[in-house]
Chain A
Amino acid sequence: MNITEANRQCLDKIQASTAVWTGIRPAHEVISGMNDYTVLHAGPPLTWKQMCGPMRGAITGACIYEGWATSPEDVDKLATDGTLLFDSSHHRHAIGPMSGIITPTMEVNVVKNEVFGIETFSTLYMGIGKVLRHGAFDDEVMTKLRWMNRELAPLLKAALQAAGGIDIKSIVAQSLQMGDELHNRNKASNALLLCSLVQHLIKVGTKEQAIRAIDFIDKAGHFILNVVMAGSKGMLDAGSGIDGSTIVTAIARNGYEAGIRVSGLGDRWFTAPAPSIDGVYFPGFGPEDANPDLGDSAITETIGLGSFSMAGAPAVVEYIGGTAQFAVETSLKMYEITVDEHQTYKLPPLNFRGAPLGIDIRRVVETGITPVINTGIACKRPGVGQIGAGLTAIPLQCFTAALEAFVHQSA
């Protein structure tokens, strides 16, 4: 099979994939190997020593939540003596924004790619600002985390059962035509998700529980992001492992490195130092407070959303900086490094052209154009949270390393 045929096979699987939010389950029941002291994180694998402040803060909060520790000092000891077992969530069909920490008893979204029988998992979205994924773990954060796992998750699980699952691919397609790009702008998609959920939440919970859940999902603003991320991963996982394919199937960052995976190169990561972010800061913060790029949410760009679909989301520039024209130009540029257009995700301002899909490492290296990512900015000090949002680009080095590995493998 030549490269063109291998890429076609990869992309046909991605295009045919579905994403249905089927449930919410404790991580240890659905994610492989989630034994005690297992800690999954965003991005490529890394050591405790390499982890940035927000990731360490989030792990501290998660260990306290699990009852493995009561203080940051306890957690540092558990990490340095090898008790904590770290792994990339990507290795277990899981995913999470920013630090993306998942521990065994945390409730996770379950999203199914029904065509290929792939289940993927993600953390529950906690809101903006001072939250666990940004490394915050004070009493307020821990109280919210416990409420989400003990009240919200069971309620959502029952609501999803009553609904028979919710078609996330359909919501993504609709919201792209309503001004979202599904990474930093989720105004329409979050509302559409709530519309699908609300009658079931009222049916399965008490009035007070339903009101709390509806209010939380509404105010969180991006609650759907984590579900879309799991759905996107399930689609891209379907296209993984095609021998001879040069299509990128994952982009992720851990605050220390950015990494990519390529369909024809198995489970290997090709990494480079995590880039900084060019963005707009919340009042009182600036670039000196920013952590290098962090999180698995670049899976949205990998499937053609986020910056790749910015042409359809001009209002997102108010959040991340730039102009409406810049949003269009960014999407157009991404067509230069992709080899397909999404058959379901369409962009109205580009005459309903399909979103750019299928990043080809050959095109990235040839053009020198690297994938642009719409992203949040985490404060480098744990416990502070999100301090802005902006744009970054995945380093070219990841793609040149992958290309060299590809040609070496096929020699």
Chain B
Amino acid sequence: MTDEQSPLPREVRVINIGLERFADDLRSLGVPVVQMDWRPPAGGEKKLIEILDRLTVRS
């Protein structure tokens, strides 16, 4: 990505959290990307998140 094409003022280095597809797209444009291995807590399951929150209070 050239400076002229970029909406950002200077070279971009990216940490991507979540869908790796975004990182792949940026990599294909030559942007340095680090993909962070992250998932929402308890796979995003509300019931389990509530249980974990309740237990955190008791920790």
Contact = CB atoms under 8 A, between A and B. Distances in A.
B59 interface: yes
B39 interface: yes
A410 to B, nearest CB: 7
Interface stretch (B17-25, B27-35, B47-55): B47-55
Nearest to B41: A366
Interface in A381-405: 400, 403-404
Interface residues of A, number: 15
A365 B42 CA distance: 5
Contacts of B54: 407
A2 B58 contact: yes
Given A365-B52, A403-B48, A407-B51, A3 B39 contact: no
A368 B42 contact: yes
A47 interface: no
A24 B54 CA distance: 47
B48 A3 contact: no
Contacts of A406: 55
A351 interface: no
B51 A368 contact: no
A3 B58 CA distance: 6
Contacts of B41: 366-367
A46 to B, nearest CB: 27
A400 B58 contact: no
Given A366-B42, A367-B39, A4 B59 contact: yes
B43 interface: yes
A400 B48 contact: yes
A362 interface: yes
A403 B52 CA distance: 9
Contacts of A2: 58-59
A228 B11 CA distance: 55
Interface string A310-322: 0000000000000
Contacts of B55: 3, 246, 362, 403, 406-407
Contacts, number: 32
Interface of B is mostly: helix
A246 B51 CA distance: 13
Contacts of A368: 39, 42-43
Contact of A366 (B52, B58, B59): B52
Nearest to A3: B59
Contacts of B39: 367-368
Nearest to A336: B37
A302 B5 CA distance: 54
Contacts of A365: 42, 48, 51-52
Contacts of B51: 365, 403-404, 407
B29 to A, nearest CB: 28
Nearest to B47: A404
A403 B55 CA distance: 10
Contacts of B58: 2-3, 410
Nearest to B39: A368
A400 B54 CA distance: 15
Nearest to A246: B55
A362 B39 CA distance: 15
Contacts of B43: 368
A48 B37 CA distance: 43
Contacts of A366: 41-42, 52
A323 to B, nearest CB: 18
Nearest to A404: B51
Nearest to A411: B54
13 contacts: A2-B59, A3-B58, A4-B59, A362-B52, A365-B52, A366-B52, A367-B39, A367-B41, A400-B48, A403-B48, A403-B52, A403-B55, A407-B55
Interface of B: 39, 41-43, 48, 51-52, 54-55, 58-59
Given A246-B55, A365-B48, A407-B55, 13 more contacts: A2-B58, A4-B59, A362-B52, A362-B55, A365-B51, A366-B41, A366-B52, A367-B39, A367-B41, A403-B48, A403-B52, A406-B55, A410-B58
Top 9 A-B pairs, shortest CB-CB distance: A3-B59, A407-B51, A4-B59, A366-B41, A368-B43, A365-B42, A3-B58, A368-B39, A2-B58
